[in-house]
Structure 1
Amino acid sequence: MSYHPVRQPGVTDRADQRSCDSEVRHPMTHADPDAPANGPKPAWWLRPLVAALGGREATEGLWPLLGITMFATLATSAFYGYVGVWAVVELRATPGEVGWLLMLNAVLSIVSGNVGGRISDRIGRRPVLVGSLGALALLMMACAVVGDHKMLGFALVAAANTVSTPAWTARNAVVADVVGPERRAQAFSSLRVCNNLAVVTGPALVGLVLLVANWSMVFLLLGVLGLGSAVFAQAVLPGGIGTPKTREDHGGRRFGMLRDVPFLALLFSTLLSFMVYVAYARVLPIAVVSTYDLGQSTWGFLSAINPMLVVLFQGLITKRTAGVHDSWRIAVGVLLMGVPWLLLLVNHSITMIAVVIVIFVAGEMLWAPATQAAATDRAPEHARGAYLGAYGATMTVAWAVGPMTSLALLEREGEDAMWVFLALTGLVASVVGLIAVRNGRREADGSAPAHEPATVAAN
C-alpha cells in the first residue's frame, strides 16, 4: 500500500488524477478522497461526534490520527493547564519564576520543533511521534516524585515541553503524507475539534482527581494517558509513513525554505495572526478581571463560548467553505479575529465581550484549518517536517511575545491602545496572508518536485 501522492506531472484532468490516485492509496485513507463515504453508518451514539468532526467524508481514514490526537491532547492539555498552579502551590515558585519558565519553554520549543520535524523527514513520522509521546509520558510521571524540589520540577517541565513539541510537528506532517490537498483543510478542522474536546476534558479531569487524591496521582494518571497515546500511535501508524522515497541528497536544497518567499510571508502572517489569537487566550481574561472588574467567575463562563462553538460548528464551517480558496479564508478569518476588538472601545459590557468572542471564534474557525493546509501544501515532499516545524515555531514565538507586547501596552497606554494594536495586527496579517497564499498551492500547481510513489506496508 502507498500514501497519497502529489499531483503527477502532466495530469491536468481531475478524472485522470483520481484514476492515478486510486492506484496508490495510503493504508490510513482506504478510499479516494474525492469519493463519498459508502461504508456502514456509525452507531447512533457516535453520530453527533462524527457530525462535529465534519461528517463521514471528512473523517474517513483519519480515525487513527484523530484517536492519537485525542489521547495525547487529553494528557498534554491537563498537564500544561495545571503545571503553573502546581509550580506555585507545591514547588513554592513565584509567579515571576513561572513566567521565566514559560519563556524558557517557548525558546526550547522553537528548537525542538524544528529539529524534530527535520528528523521525521529522514527516519519517518512514526518513530518521532511515538518517541516524543513516550518520553513526555515518562517525564510527567517523574513529576510525581519531585516533592517540593523546585529546580528539579522546573527541569522536568522544561524537558517535557521540549520532547513534546516534535510530536505535533510529526502529526501535522502525517496529514500531508496521507491526505490530498483537496481534503487537508477539512482534516485539520477535524483535528481541531478533537483538540478542543480534549482541552475541555483534560483540565476538568485533573480537577476531579485533585478532589479525591493528590498531585502525585495526577501526574501518574497523565503519564498513563501519555503512554497510551504512544502505544496507540505505534499500533495504528504505518511504519514507513513519511520516510523518504529515495535517498538522493537534498543538501543543495537544505536552505530552500529561506528562499521560499511565499512561505516566509505566510509565516509572518501566521505569527501576527497567532499574536491576535493569543490575546484572546491570555490578555482578554486579564482585561476582563482587572480592567473591567467583571470577576473571575464571569470569565469562566465567557471562556466556555470558544470551545463550545468550535466543537459544534468547526466541521460544518470548514465543509461549507471548502470551495473558497485558502487565501480568502485566511484573510477574512484573521480580519474577524482582529477587527472586533475595536467594539470594546465603544462598550465593554458582558454582552459586548460575548459578541466579540463569538465573532472572534467565527474567524478562528475559518483561519486555523486554512492556514495549516496552506503551510502544508507549500512544503516540498522531502522537507515537510522541516517546513511544519518552522510553522509551529511561529505559534511558539507568538505565545511568548504576544502577551508581553499586549500587556505592556495595557499597562502603559491603557486598554484602548491595546485593542487598536490588535486590530491593526490582524489587518496586516490578513493582507500579508492573502498575498502569500494567492501565489498558489505548491502541489496544486504541479510545482512540487516529482517523486515516484513508493509502497509502505502497515505493521
Structure 2
Amino acid sequence: MLRRLAHLIWGAEVDRALRPVLAVTLIGSLAGSSAWSFMGIWAIEDLGATSAQLSFGYLVGAIVAGLVGHAGGHLSDHVGRRGLILAGEGLLAITLPLFLLAGSDVLLGLGLMVGAGALGSFGGSAGQAMVADLVPPERHEVAYASVRVAANLGVTMGPPAGSLFLVAGGWHAFFPGVGLLAVAAWWLAFRLLPRGGAYAPTSPPQRGSLGVIVRDRPYLLFMAASVFSWLVYVAYETVLPVSLVESHGLPTWGWGVLVVINPLLVTLFQLRLTRSLAHVSMVPKWVAGVLLMGLPFLLLGVTSAIPVIVLVLVLFVLGEMLWVPTSSAIVAGLAPDDLRGAYMGAFAGTAATGFALAPFLGLQVRDASGDAAMWSAFAVAAVVSAAVGATVCRRAESRAAPPPPSALLEG
C-alpha cells in the first residue's frame, strides 16, 4: 500500500540515491509542522504573550534562523552534510520538551521559540546541499521538486498529528510528542543518510565562503530577486488570510477549507509539472512562476467572490510549483562545488527576510491605504523579482552547462 502511494506521488523516476533524503525530509517536516502550526496559539493562550510580543518573537526568530541557516551551510562544506543534519534534528528533539518549563515566563518561552526555529534551520541548508551532492546537475530541478513534495506531505500531516497530541493530554503531551517525531527524524537520518555523494566535493574548501559570495555579483543579484519573490510567497501564508477574513468577509473556517487547495495540488502535480517542463529554460519558469504568484492578488481588488478566490489560489500554487524548484536549481548552478552549503545557507537567509518583512510591510500598507494598495505593492514586488531574476537565470544556466566537446579536447 505504501509503495503504491509513493509511486502515485513520486512516480518511478526518483533517483535511488535521493530516497533517504526524501524519507528524512518527510518525517522532519512532519515534526516541524506539528510544532509550528500550534506555536502561536501556545504562546498567546498558555504562555500569556501579547500579539505584539509574539510578532516581535517571530521577527527575531526569522533573523536568527537566517543567520544560523547560513552558518550551518558553511559548516557543512567543512565537516559534512550528514553531521549538521543530525545535530539540528537532535538538538531540536531535546529542545521541544523544554517548552513545558517556560510556564508564564514570556521571555523564556519566546526565547525557546527563537531557539527552536534556529535549530530547525541549522541542518536545512546542509540538506539542500546534499541533494546536489547526490544527483547530477541535469537532475537538480526534478530532485528539488521531489524533496519539496516530501516536505509538503509532512506539512499536510503535521497539524493533524499535533491535534492528536493536544487531545491526548494538552500541551503536556504536545511538546514531548512532537519531540518524539523529531527523534524519529534524527533516527532515520542516522540510519539512512550517506556521508557523501557521487557529486560531492572531494575535499573541504580552502577559502572563506563570505568573501566569495560578496564578490559573486550574479549570486548577489539572485539574492535580491529572491527577497522580492519571498515577500510575495510569504504574503500568501500570512497576509492573505487576514485580508480575506477581515476585509472580504470570508469566515475563518472558510480559509481553513480553501487553504487545503495548496498542499493537495503540490502533492499531486508538483513532480508531474516539473518533469513535463524539464526541457524548458529556467528563465521562463522563473518569470512565469513569480508573476503567477503575485499578479493574481490584484483580482481581489475587483471582487472577492469564492470562484475568484479559488482562481487566485490555483494560479498562486501553479506559480509556486514553477518557482520553488527552479530557485533551488539556480542556487546549485551558481554555487561553486566546494561552497555549495554556504551558498544554500545564504539563500535560506532570503526566505528568513521574506518571513520577517512580508507581514510587517504588507499590514503597514494595508492599515495606511487599504487592501488594494497592499496587493498592488506585492504585485510590484513580483514584477521586480521576475525582471531581476531572469538575468540571473541565464547566468546560472551558463555556469551549470558542461563545456563543449571542443573545449574538452583543447584542454
TM-score by length of 1: 0.84
Cα distance, 1:158–1:45 mapped onto 2, change above 3 Å: closer
Structure having the larger proportion of residues in helix: 2
SS at match of 2:47: coil
Q: Does 1:95 align with 2:23?
A: no
For the 8 Å contact 1:333–1:363, the answer to whether it is kept is: yes
> Aligned partners of 1:45, 1:139: CA distance in 2, in Å?
31
The structural deviation recorded for 1:127 is: 0.7
> Aligned partners of 1:249, 1:361: CA distance in 2, in Å?
41
Aligned AA (2:179): G
Q: Does 1:183 align with 2:163?
A: no
Aligned AA (2:227): L
Which digits, 9 at most, give the CA deviation of each residue in 1:315-368, with x for residues without a partner?
110010010111221111111111111212221111111111101111110111
The structural deviation recorded for 1:243 is: 7.4
Aligned mate of 1:160, from 94, 116, 121: 116
Aligned mate of 2:183, from 227, 247, 271: 227
The aligned runs of 1:227-246 (5 Å cut-off) are 227-240=183-196, 245-246=202-203
The aligned runs of 1:116-265 (5 Å cut-off) are 116-240=72-196, 245-246=202-203, 249-251=206-208, 254-265=210-221
Partner of 2:30: 74
> Aligned partners of 1:272, 1:304: CA distance in 2, in Å?
25
Which digits, 9 at most, give the CA deviation of each residue in 1:269-324, with x for residues without a partner?
11111111111111110001110111101111111111111111111100100101
Which digits, 9 at most, give the CA deviation of each residue in 1:182-216, with x for residues without a partner?
11111111111111111111111111221231112
The structural deviation recorded for 1:74 is: 0.6
Which moves more between the two structures, 356-365 or 236-245?
Answer: 236-245
The aligned runs of 1:299-314 (5 Å cut-off) are 299-314=255-270
> Aligned partners of 2:206, 2:393: CA distance in 1, in Å?
29
The structural deviation recorded for 1:446 is: 4.8
| CA root-mean-square deviation | 1.7
Q: Does 1:414 align with 2:367?
A: no
Q: Does 1:341 align with 2:297?
A: yes
> Aligned partners of 1:50, 1:397: CA distance in 2, in Å?
36
Query: What stretches of structure 1 of length at least 5 have no aligned partner?
Result: 1-43, 448-459
For the 8 Å contact 2:62–2:352, the answer to whether it is kept is: yes
For the 8 Å contact 2:132–2:200, the answer to whether it is kept is: no
Aligned mate of 2:330, from 371, 374, 387: 374
Aligned mate of 1:324, from 270, 280, 295: 280
Partner of 1:46: 3
For the 8 Å contact 2:294–2:382, the answer to whether it is kept is: yes
The aligned runs of 1:354-369 (5 Å cut-off) are 354-369=310-325
> Aligned partners of 2:223, 2:203: CA distance in 1, in Å?
28
Cα distance, 1:276–1:315 mapped onto 2, change above 3 Å: same
For the 8 Å contact 1:185–1:373, the answer to whether it is kept is: yes
Give the percent of matched residue pairs that are identical in Structure 1 and Structure 2: 35
Which digits, 9 at most, give the CA deviation of each residue in 1:6-48, with x for residues without a partner?
xxxxxxxxxxxxxxxxxxxxxxxxxxxxxxxxxxxxxx54233
Q: Does 1:444 align with 2:401?
A: yes
Bigger radius of gyration: 1
TM-score by length of 2: 0.94
For the 8 Å contact 1:345–1:416, the answer to whether it is kept is: yes
For the 8 Å contact 1:144–1:217, the answer to whether it is kept is: no
Q: Does 1:425 align with 2:376?
A: no
Aligned AA (2:360): M
Aligned AA (2:194): P
For the 8 Å contact 1:51–1:315, the answer to whether it is kept is: no
> Aligned partners of 1:197, 1:326: CA distance in 2, in Å?
25
Q: Does 1:393 align with 2:335?
A: no
> Aligned partners of 1:85, 1:63: CA distance in 2, in Å?
35
For the 8 Å contact 2:333–2:396, the answer to whether it is kept is: no
> Aligned partners of 1:254, 1:209: CA distance in 2, in Å?
43
Aligned mate of 1:108, from 64, 67, 80: 64
For the 8 Å contact 1:122–1:244, the answer to whether it is kept is: no
Partner of 2:408: none
Which moves more between the two structures, 145-154 or 57-66?
Answer: 145-154
Cα distance, 1:112–1:371 mapped onto 2, change above 3 Å: same
For the 8 Å contact 1:121–1:386, the answer to whether it is kept is: yes
Partner of 1:7: none
SS at match of 1:78: helix
Cα distance, 1:45–1:132 mapped onto 2, change above 3 Å: closer
Cα distance, 1:45–1:107 mapped onto 2, change above 3 Å: closer
Which moves more between the two structures, 81-90 or 341-350?
Answer: 341-350
> Aligned partners of 2:82, 2:16: CA distance in 1, in Å?
20
For the 8 Å contact 1:175–1:187, the answer to whether it is kept is: yes
